Structures are given as C-alpha cells and as structure tokens.
Structure 1
Amino acid sequence: MTGGDEVVSFDVDAATAAIRDALDDGSDLHVVAAFTAEAYEIVHCDEFTRAFYADDEEMGAHFDRIHRYAGIDFSEIGLFVDELFPVAGGVEYVATGMEHLTIVRVYTGREGLLLTLDPGVDVTTAIEAVRDAIDRDLGATGDSLSSPDA
C-alpha cells in the first residue's frame, strides 16, 4: 500500500492523517482507498479489517469486486446533479450506514476516497477533515464526468 497519489491527483496521505486526527485516536477509521472509475488503491487498512480475510489475495479480490461498482456511483451522481436536483450543486459524498459499518465515498471531480468507519462516527467530521487536508472543493457533477478536462 502506498499513498494512492498514483490513482488520484490529491494528497491521500494528508487526507488519511487528517481523518485519523479528527477522529481522535483514529481507531474508528478502518479503510481508506483512493479511486477513480478506472482504478483504485487501498492506502490504509487496519488489522481489524484484515482479520476478516484469509490473506491479501482474498482481500484484494473483495476490493476488486467493490470497485467494479465505482462507475455506477459516477453515473448516479450525474443523474442526481443533472436530472433530479440540478440546483443543489455537486455531490460531495455518499454515506451508507449499516449495522456494523459506515461506508463513505467522498468525491472531487472524477476522483474519490472510499472510507470505512465505525457506525457511530460523525460522517461530517471525516468529510470536513478531507476537505481541509486536500485544500480543494469537494463535489462531482454530471458535467465534470463528461468533460474531458475534469
């Protein structure tokens, strides 16, 4: 695992450190993965998460399967921004609350971070930490996804 900066253009290590700091001791942060529709890289994975897999190969196969849905995320953003809520601005993040896990996908243009957190974590605290660390606007729009320069 490296810093993920080969997958996205922002400083993933700085974002990860900021999230850990914002969540006190950072033990509520389990996974950070940088991603685009084409590629991803796990940049942080704690021992708690690793314990669910027999080995790195099994974990990699699972994350490959998760990443196959990244294109759907970006398509859904276009639907929300261009068709359903055009005056609301870009989609900054999507959070999925589950019984034992909260999954957050944070977007900036065509790039993003996937975070897995304990279910009780204040998601906005993690989002604000990312925003402050990468020093750029969050949000993806349908236009940015179809623009070749985005």
Structure 2
Amino acid sequence: MPATNRSKLAAFDADAVRRTVQDTVSGPLLTFCEYDTESFRPLYVDDRTISMYDSRDAMLEHFERIHTHVHMDFMQSELFKNTLFPDAERVEYVTTAMDFLKVLRVYIDDDGLFIAIEPDEPVVPIVDAIKATLEWPPNQNS
C-alpha cells in the first residue's frame, strides 16, 4: 500500500497538486515530496519505491540524503535568475533523467516539489497541470 502524508510545508495546496500530478502522469507516480531549504516531507511514495528499501528508516535516510542536495536548488535558481539570466523572472523546474528514473523538481516561490516518475514520462504536461492547479502567473516565456 502506498504511503501518504498531508502537506505541512508548502504555502500552496500541495495535496491538490499531488492529486493533479497523479491524474496527469501516464505511468506511475513513484514519489511526490514537498521541500524547502530546511526540510522535506514525502506526500506520496508508491509501493514499488517502498519495496526498494529494507525499512522505513532506510527509505527516510535516503530521502534525507537526497534533500541535503536538492535544497541547493534554491541557491542555483537565484544564480540563474540574478546572475546568468537576469531577464528571467523565475526558474520553474529542473529535470534529471536517469536510466531507471526521472526526477522533476518544480519551484514555487520558496517551496519545491520533488516528483519521481518513470524515465519516459513527459514532464511538460505535468508542469502545465501544476501551473493550472496553482493558477501560476505566466511569465514572458509562457
């Protein structure tokens, strides 16, 4: 049975966003977490992901190890916006594709979403669905 939690970190309705993402993906949603620079909270972890770990503690330890790196996303976003591309209003998302997994990290102000999906899952429909759910204002590139 998948593990679920209610959102407690994000300033927006991350639970509604999770439901939207689950309805949007063509394959399984493997993991959906909310995070900020200080902490993370898994909101959904599917059975297959859970089975990859020996215990709940081992899974959370791995998630914590991941989070120690993804919090740097916010610093990197500032670098891109303020230094490298000063005309950009925001960095919206970053995708990391691996042979067995694709990770989509979406940034909404000071909050982030960490979404793990199948490697062949398209990310643009997911981002578009998130934007529609949050009534995200368009930027100059939208």
TM-score (norm 2): 0.89
- The Cα shift of 1:132 comes to 1.5
Equivalent in the alignment of 2:97: 97
Equivalent in the alignment of 1:84: 84
Cα deviation 1:24-82 (Å, max 9, x = unaligned):
4xx43110000000111000000011111011100000001111113311111111111
Separation in structure 2 between the aligned mates of residue 93 and residue 133 of structure 1, nearest angstrom: 16
Q: Is the 8 A contact 1:96 1:103 kept in 2?
A: yes
- The Cα shift of 1:137 comes to 4.0
SS in 2 for 1:125: helix
* Superposition map of 1:21-100 within 5 A: 21-24=23-26, 27-100=27-100
Q: Once the two structures are aligned, what percentage of the paired residues are identical?
A: 29
- The Cα shift of 1:138 comes to 8.2
* Superposition map of 1:93-132 within 5 A: 93-132=93-132
SS in 1 for 2:37: coil
Equivalent in the alignment of 1:142: none
Equivalent in the alignment of 2:12: 10
Q: Is the 8 A contact 1:109 1:138 kept in 2?
A: no
Number of matched pairs: 136
SS in 2 for 1:104: strand
- The Cα shift of 1:104 comes to 0.7
* Structure 1, unpaired ranges of 5+: 140-150
Separation in structure 1 between the aligned mates of residue 110 and residue 138 of structure 2, nearest angstrom: 11
TM-score (norm 1): 0.84
Structure 2 residue identity aligned to 1:3: R
SS in 2 for 1:105: strand
Taking a change above 3 Å as real, the CA distance of residues 138 and 67 of structure 1, as seen in their structure-2 partners, is: farther
Structure 2 residue identity aligned to 1:99: D
Query: Following superposition, which runs of at least 4 residues in structure 1 exceed 4 angstroms of deviation?
Result: none
Separation in structure 1 between the aligned mates of residue 138 and residue 29 of structure 2, nearest angstrom: 20
* Structure 2, unpaired ranges of 5+: none
Separation in structure 2 between the aligned mates of residue 123 and residue 34 of structure 1, nearest angstrom: 17
Taking a change above 3 Å as real, the CA distance of residues 69 and 38 of structure 1, as seen in their structure-2 partners, is: same
